[in-house]
Structure 1
Amino acid sequence: MGPTAAGKTQVAVTLARSLPVEIVSVDSSLVYRHMNIGTAKPDPQTLKVVPHHLIDLVEPNETYSAGRFRDDALTVMREITERGHIPLLVGGTMLYFKALREGLAELPRADPALRVVIDGMAAEQGWPALHRILSQVDPETAARLSPNDAQRIQRALEVYYLTDRPLSALLKKPQYVYFPYRAITLALVPSDRERLNQRIAQRFEDMLELGLIGEVRWLRRHYALDLSMPSMRCVGYRQVWKYLEGEYTLELMRERAIAATRQLAKRQLTWLRAMEGVTTFDCFGESVAEAVLAHLRAALAG
C-alpha cells in the first residue's frame, strides 16, 4: 500500500522478478479501460512481463464499487493460489483494502428521492457546505473526505438521513468476514512530504508530455461522459476536462491537478496511519525494493 507516486508499481515489479507472485491491482482508477496516462497504468511491456489482475475491467461510462472489487479480488486470488502462486495486492485505494480484509457493512439501499433533495441542497449551497453539515453529524467520515467529494458526501448524508446514525458507526458493525489468507501488510510512506509533492508535480508534467490532454479529448469524443461520473472524478481527468471546456487556463489546470493529487496523497496517508499491523518502508530509502523483498522472504519463511 501507499500514497500516489510512492513507487508501488516499481517495487511490485521488482518483487515479481524474485518471488512467485501475481499482481492484483487495488486501484479504483485502473479498472477503467482507455484511461492509461492519467491513471499511471503500467505500460504494455510491464503488463506482458508481470501478470496483473483487475485492470481494464469496465468502460469509463460505467461504475465499479468496493463490493464488486471484493468479489473480483477474492476470485482472482483463489485462481492465483490454485496455480501455486502468491497474490500480491498493490495499490492506493485504501477503501478497497479495507473492504477486502474487513468486509462491507450492511447499509441502506440508495434512495433516489433523497438523493434529489441532497443534490438540490448542493446546487444551492455547494458541496463544501454539505461537507460542513456532514462534519457535524459524522465528523469521522467527514475527516477523510475532500470537501468536493460529491459522491461520498452524498452517500454519507443519505445514510445518516435514512438511519439517523453516522456512516462511520455503521461501518464498525462487527460481522463475519470471509478472508482465507494470511496477510503480510506493507506500506511505502514518504519520509519527506515535500519530496513526495515534488514527485507528484513532476509526474503530472510527465503525463502531460505523454498526451493526457489528448487522452481526455478522445474519451469525451467516444463516450457519453460528464463530470459526475466516477471515472471523470479521478484526479487529473477532472481538471483536464475543465481546461477543455475553457474553464481553466493551462497553468491553472496544472495547479489544480497537482493540488488535487497532493490532497489524495494526504488522505491515503491518513488511512494508513489508522491501520494496524502495517510494516512501513521509506519510499525514498536506498534499495527500498530490496528491503521489502528481504522482509517478505523472512515472513514467508516463517
Structure 2
Amino acid sequence: MAAVEAVLIAGPTASGKSRLALELARRLDGVVVNADSMQVYDGLSILTARPSAADMAAVPHDLYGHVNPAEAYSAGAYLRDAAASLAAAKSGGRLPIVCGGTGLYFKALLGLLDTMPPVPAAIREHWRGRLAAEGAAALHGLLAERDPAAAARIASADGQRIVRALEVGEASGRTLSALQAGRGEGPLSMARTVKVVLTPERPVLRERIARRFADMLAEGAVAEVAAFRAMPGAMGGSAARAIGVDELGAVIDGSLDLVAARERAVTRTRQYAKRQETWFRHQFGPDWQRLEGPDPAGIEGI
C-alpha cells in the first residue's frame, strides 16, 4: 500500500470506536476527526457519547459539537467541513483518524456519493412550507411514491431528512437514492486509506449499550436534556432525534419514570445498532477490515 493518508474507523454505537481512535491517534501522532451525524451538534455531549474532555485534551479532536443544534446539517456540509479538517491535519503533519457511525459520511469522504446539487431557495421554501402545513408523515408518503429506497431508510417523523430528499429530487431531476449510489469526488483515496469496521458479538454489544446508558445517567444526562430543551430552536432540529432526548424529556415533564425511560432508550439504541450493523455489512466491502474489538494490534496496514 502507498503511504497511508487516513485511517477510517466505523461501527455500530457502543462498539468501541472512540477508544480505538484515541489509541491510534496516540501511537501515530494523529488527530481524531468525527464522522458521526449526532456528535457534530452542540448541546448533547453526554447523550451522543462524544469523547470525554480528558480524551479530547489528550489528542487533537475535530468536528465535535461545532454545529448549532437549530441548524440543518447535511452530508454535503459534513464533506466540506471534513475536507478542511483533513487538509489541516496534513499540513500539520498529523494522520487523520476518522471515527464514527454514519456510513454516508464515510462514503462521501471516499467519493462514493454523487455531488449533491444546489437547491434553489424557492424549492427549499416550498417544501419547508408543505412540511409545516401537512406534517412529516404526509410528505413521507409522497417520498415513498417518488423515491421508495430513500423513504425506506428515513423515519416517517424525520421531517428534515424527508424534505431534503424531496427538494434534492426536484432540484436535480434524480432521486436522492440514485445520487447517493453514484460516484462523486471525495478528499480521500480508497487505495491510501486503512478502513476498519468494528463488529462485536451481539450479546457483548447489547450489554455495552445498557451499561453506557447507565453511565450517561450518572454523568448528568437528565440535566443535559433539560438544558438542551431550553436552547433556542434546538428541539426543532435533527439533534433532537438523539436517543434519550424524548425519553428523558418525558421524565422531566413527569410523564415517565426514570426506570422506564432508561429501558426505552436502551431498547431504541439496540435497535439502532442493529440497523447500523446491517448497513455496514451490505455497504462496506472486503476492503474494510472487520474487527470484533477495538484492538490496534489487529489492524493491518499501519
TM-score, structure 2 normalization: 0.83
Contact preservation (8 Å) 2:35, 2:101: yes
Q: Percent identity?
A: 36
- Counterpart Cα distance in 2 of 1:111 and 1:64: 14
* CA-CA distance at 1:187 after TM superposition: 0.6
Shift of 1:107: 5.6
User: How far apart are 1:136 and its partner, in Å?
Assistant: 4.4
Deviations 1:79-125 (A, max 9, x none): 21122221110111222222222253326445322333244433xxx
In 1: Cα distance, 2:127 partner to 2:43 partner: 34
Partner of 1:224: 232
Q: Are the structure 2 counterparts of residues 253 and 275 from structure 1 closer, same or farther at C-alpha, using a change threshold of 3 Å? A: same
* Aligned alpha-carbon RMSD (Å): 2.6
Q: What are the residue-to-residue correspondences of 1:15-30 with 2, within 5 Å?
A: 15-30=24-39
1:189 aligned partner: 199
Alignment partner of 2:128 out of 115, 122, 141: 115
Q: Would the alpha carbon gap of residues 111 and 60 (structure 1) be closer, same or farther in structure 2, given more than 3 Å must change? A: closer
Match of 2:249 in 1: 241
Once the two structures are TM-superposed, the CA of residue 52 in structure 1 deviates from its matched residue by 0.9
CA shift for structure 1 position 194: 3.4
Structure-1 separation of matches of 2:87 and 2:25: 18
Give ranges in structure 1 of 5+ residues lacking alignment.
298-302
Long gaps (5+) in structure 2: 1-9
Residue identity matched to 1:296: G
* Conserved 8 A contact 2:199-2:292: yes
Does the C-alpha gap of structure 1 residues 164 and 33 become closer, same or farther in structure 2, counting only changes over 3 Å? closer
Matched, 1:155 2:164: yes
For residue 178 of structure 1, report the CA deviation from its aligned partner: 4.4
Select 1:14's aligned residue among 20, 23, 37.
23
Once the two structures are TM-superposed, the CA of residue 254 in structure 1 deviates from its matched residue by 1.9
- Do the aligned partners of residues 141 and 117 (structure 1) sit closer, same or farther apart at CA in structure 2, a change above 3 Å counting? same
- Contact 1:144/1:267 (CA < 8 Å) preserved in 2? no
For 2:263, the equivalent position in structure 1 comes to: 255
Residue from 258, 276, 289 that aligns with 2:296: 289
The count of residues paired between Structure 1 and Structure 2 equals 285
Using the TM superposition, name which of 160-169 and 266-275 deviates more: 160-169
Question: 1:207, CA displacement in angstroms?
Answer: 0.5
Aligned to 2:80: 71
Deviations 1:238-286 (A, max 9, x none): 3222332344332332233223322322332233121233211113xxx
The answer to whether 1:98 aligns with 2:107 is yes
Counterpart among 173, 198, 201 of residue 207 in structure 2: 198
Distance across 2 between alignment mates of 1:112 and 1:242: 32
